[in-house]
Amino acid sequence: MQAGILVLGQIATTITQAILPWFIVRMLGKGDVGAFAALMLVYNTLATLMTAGFPPAVLYFNAQRGPADRRSLALRVWAMLVGLGAAAGVLMWLMSRFGAQASDWGAATFGWAPSAGDERMERDAVLAALGTFALYPALDMTARIVPNLLISEQRPRGAALFGLVKAAGSLAATLVPAALGYGLRGMVLGMLAFGVLQAVGVLALLLWLYRGVGAPESRVSYGHLLRFSIPLGMTDIINILNASLDSYLVMFTMSASLFAEYRMGAWQIPLVTSTAYAVGAVYLPRFVRLFGEGKSAEVLTLWRGSISKVSLIVVPVCAVFVVGAEEFCALAFTPEYSNAAPVFRIYSLLTMARVTAFSTLLVAAGQTPMILRSAGLTVASNVAVSVPMLLAFGYLGPPLGQLIAFVPTVAIYCYFISKALDQPLRNTFPVVAYLKVVAAAAGPCALAALAKLAWPDAPAVALAVEAGVILVGFAAVGSAAGLITREDWRFVGDWVRLKALRRRDQTAPS
């Protein structure tokens, strides 16, 4: 029940982040869209760097502690995040202050084409907005511990409600100024105004939550918090740097207008991108139990089976967007962003391959050092591929680099999985089973690619036809080939009729 409540807040945040670009592109010019995307990229990266490890640390340290000790811990983490937010703000201000000089130095040193005319004006606008936005981290970072804090206090509904309020507030703070015509500066000021309200609300919540408690019996020192949180968050830090590498390469080498097109192309299909991670979270407790019983081979069998089932969802859905990239970008981001379609197609291909959370098995095996090493190696491989691809192919180089680098990423994780489970490497990722699913989608994709030619000026009709041809065709081919079983169809039917929910209600304790 608690997990279901929390998912509502997560879904709200995901949908908000997904649909925000659809509105922004219709209210702002490309320069402002690119500038706002750059601001949020820089802030979200810094926020993850500064806060990674602290939210789970709250859950860990608050377990088995009294109210007074929990209050002491919450206020200490709050104070640390205010300080770290201020440090992030200083870094953002320094970037705004010396960014232009660094750009000119890079152009002179490495022979890049220097910014000229409109590009220089766009760059200066981004840097000026970054200087103002530097006030935001200290106002926002404390909010990142609130959901975990409320979970530790057995208040899952409060955690979900907080997620809903934060998502709605962030959306309003950006869209209202944009709709009123205040542009980038108005959006920055709107975010700051929301940040102030949020910061006051978080502090008031902490004081209300622990009202009337006495003096703490024991305190967790600031040093202990840092020593626990930093290693815990290192994998998150490495992963976000890996995921953001292509965007930073484009942001530092191209104009704000081109960066706007790139970020729209880098839009990822909501919920589909998180399917593999949700399945991994469901299987994790079972994997842990089986590891404890010494049944690593059974863990591997279950994991391979989950990949085959997730592929049946992810591959055909992503295939729709691979074929219909032009139509989708025209509908979602307007025809002005037609150059985003090739980037979006590459990202959809990448999403098609993300059919499992590789780290789940390493977590279940208790091999957190392997997770850190594998994450570090994937970043190195991404840099080794993406930077040369940028120099060779320009705008399309970074996404192609991400796609190509995914192959060594899978190999690296499978190598560590084979070590952790003491199983042969060939028995890890089910390559053949996955390729069979892809092959089942190939024929329908070819038909859909031909069908799209019939409606060149009607993107909505073309996308609907493409989706129908691919999904129905895949269902037919997959069923005929035995990839989709009767049990799979029965499962789909049960969920369409909400049969599983009714069963839960009938068997739930009163």
**pLDDT tens per residue, range 141-162:** 999 889 888 888 888 778 878 8
pLDDT for res 100: 64
CA atoms of 260 and 247, how far apart (whole Å): 10
Residue 497, classed as helix, strand or coil, is coil
State the average pLDDT over residues 17-34: 86
Average predicted confidence (pLDDT) for the chain: 85
What number of H helices and E strands is found in the chain? 22, 0
Is pLDDT of 227 > 70?
yes
Q: What proportion of the chain, given as a percentage, has pLDDT over 90?
A: 42
Q: What proportion of the chain, given as a percentage, has pLDDT over 70?
A: 88
CA atoms of 186 and 172, how far apart (whole Å): 12
Is pLDDT of 108 > 80?
no
Query: pLDDT class for 189, splitting at 50, 70, 90?
Result: very high
Does residue 310 form part of some domain? Answer: no
Alpha-carbon distances of 343 from 129, 141, 501, rounded to whole Å:
27, 31, 39
pLDDT for res 501: 43
Q: Which of 10-19, 217-226, 270-279 has the highest mean pLDDT?
A: 217-226
Write the CB contacts of 151 (distance below 8 Å, at least 6 apart in sequence). Answer: 2, 6, 59, 159
Annotate 82-102 with b (16+ C-beta within 10 A) or e (fewer). Answer: bebbbebbebbbebbeebeee
pLDDT for res 12: 63
Does residue 49 form part of some domain? Answer: yes
Tell me the per-residue pLDDT of 343-386, one tens digit each, with 9 for 90 and over. 999 999 999 999 998 888 888 888 878 888 898 899 999 999 99
| Least confident interval from 123-127, 255-259, 304-308 | 123-127
Nearest C-alpha neighbor of 270 from the set 227, 314, 310: 314
Q: Amino acid identity of 358?
A: F
Does residue 318 form part of some domain? Answer: no
How far, in whole angstroms, is CA 297 from its chain's centroid?
Answer: 31
State the average pLDDT over residues 278-284: 75
Does residue 66 form part of some domain? Answer: yes
Token pair of 27 as six digits? 């209210």
Domain that holds residue 163: 1-237
Does residue 35 form part of some domain? Answer: yes
Does residue 485 form part of some domain? Answer: no
Biggest alpha carbon–alpha carbon distance for the chain: 74
pLDDT for res 105: 56
pTM summary value: 0.83
| 127 within 8 A of 96, measured Cβ to Cβ | yes
Token pair of 425 as six digits? 């490497």
Question: Domain total for the chain?
Answer: 1
Query: pLDDT class for 2, splitting at 50, 70, 90?
Result: very low
Is pLDDT of 70 > 90?
no
State the average pLDDT over residues 417-446: 93
Tell me the per-residue pLDDT of 173-186, one tens digit each, with 9 for 90 and over. 999 999 999 988 99
pLDDT for res 495: 57
Query: pLDDT class for 13, splitting at 50, 70, 90?
Result: low
Write the CB contacts of 400 (distance below 8 Å, at least 6 apart in sequence). Answer: 346, 389, 393
Does residue 248 form part of some domain? Answer: no
Token pair of 330 as six digits? 């025209």
pLDDT for res 500: 45
Is pLDDT of 504 > 60?
no
The residue behind tokens 């190999």 is: 411
| 123 within 8 A of 100, measured Cβ to Cβ | yes
Q: What is the 3-state secondary structure (H, E, C) of 52-113?
A: CCHHHHHHHHHCCCCHHHHHHHHHHHHHHHHHHHHHHHHHHHHHHHHHHHHHHHHHHHHCCC
pLDDT for res 406: 93
Q: Amino acid identity of 278?
A: A
Does residue 433 form part of some domain? Answer: no
The residue behind tokens 């949180």 is: 229
| 126 within 8 A of 39, measured Cβ to Cβ | yes
| Least confident interval from 119-123, 302-306, 365-369 | 119-123
| Least confident interval from 2-16, 221-235, 271-285 | 2-16
| 463 within 8 A of 329, measured Cβ to Cβ | no
